[in-house]
Amino acid sequence: MIVKYGVYVCILIMSAFEMLYAYAGELTDSEHRTKAATEKLPTLVCYRCNTMTDNEKCLDLHNNSTSFHANCSDDSRICQVKRISMTTITKTGEVTGTPKLWMLQRNCTGTCDPGCIIIGERTKLYSCTTCCEESYCNHGNSASSFYIEHFQVLLYHLYTVLLMLIVKS
3-state secondary structure string across the chain: CHHHHHHHHHHHHHHHHHHHHHHHHHHHHCCCCCHHHHCCCCCCEEECEEHHHHHHHHCCHHHHHHHHEEECCCCCCEEEEEEEEEEEECCCCCEEEEEEEEEEEEEEECCCCCEEEEECCCEEEEEEEEEECCCCCCCCCCHHHHHHHHHHHHHHHHHHHHHHHHHHC
What does each of the 169 residues of the chain score in pLDDT, given as a tens digit?
555 555 565 566 666 556 655 555 555 556 777 876 677 778 999 999 998 888 888 888 877 667 899 999 999 999 999 999 999 888 888 888 788 899 999 999 999 999 999 999 888 899 999 999 999 999 877 544 444 445 555 555 555 655 666 767 6
Go through the domains of the chain in sequence order and give each one's CATH number: 43-141 (2.10.60.10)
> What pLDDT shows up at residue 47?
94
pLDDT of residue 59: 86
